[in-house]
Chain A
Amino acid sequence: DAMVIQNPRYQVTQFGKPVTLSCSQTLNHNVMYWYQQKSSQAPKLLFHYYDKDFNNEADTPDNFQSRRPNTSFCFLDIRSPGLGDAAMYLCATSREGPRANEQYFGPGTRLTVT
């Protein structure tokens, strides 16, 4: 089944130790998103790619970086995780055209910072 896949599902890292989360999709969607979601809150957009064009949200900390080497894969790098970065990280995709289309989420990666 076509889907959005995130690995790992659970990630534990130490304070200040770089960590990379990955996302892959078999939907061939041209837009990929990274969201941060903390407990009982709505997803917060960190950045998104339209094809290879990177779009950063103004309030996304510099500590967060992203790479999209090809259509199918997208990575979230947290250079120096702090305790406040512990959250669920959600990858999502959509196919954009003349009209807005559905956005599909992956299962998320739960990040714990010790």
Chain B
Amino acid sequence: QQQVKQSPQSLIVQKGGISIINCAYENTAFDYFPWYQQFPGKGPALLIAIRPDVSEKKEGRFTISFNKSAKQFSLHIMDSQPGDSATYFCAARTTGTYKYIFGTGTRLKVLA
């Protein structure tokens, strides 16, 4: 119940295309859902995050879609660029636990 399932494991997208990464969870106590971007040899960087009281959040080319009833959330990268090639992790946590449950990661490659 504490797991966050992430798919796909890897993704190849053409430059200018849309990258979509999906995550699903079971624990309805989760109330904060961040996405992290990690380049090789670097620490994860917070990309965008959402709380379950909204269904969508957009920051630049990055959008989180959140479906509370389905217990799913996804990251959409519009107009994908080669510089977006990285590993993306979704995560979830419950306020008060201070612990983040990470998905298994998606390795994105954007072809020039």
Contacts and interface: CB of A to CB of B under 8 A. Distances in A.
B89 interface: yes
B34 A41 contact: no
Interface in B32-78: 32, 34, 36, 41-46, 49, 51
Interface string A28-68: 00010000000011110100101000010000000000000
Most buried by A among B51, B98, B102: B98
Nearest to A91: B43
Nearest to B4: A42
A72 interface: no
**Which size bracket describes the interface of B in this complex?**
20 to 34
Q: Is the interface of A mostly helix, strand, loop or mixed?
A: strand
B41 A110 contact: yes
A90 B46 CA distance: 14
A100 B102 contact: no
A102 B99 contact: no
Given A43-B44, A105-B44, A110-B41, A48 B98 contact: yes
Contacts of A103: 34, 46, 100
Interface of A: 4, 6, 31, 40-43, 45, 48, 50, 55, 88, 90, 92, 94, 96, 98-100, 102-108, 110
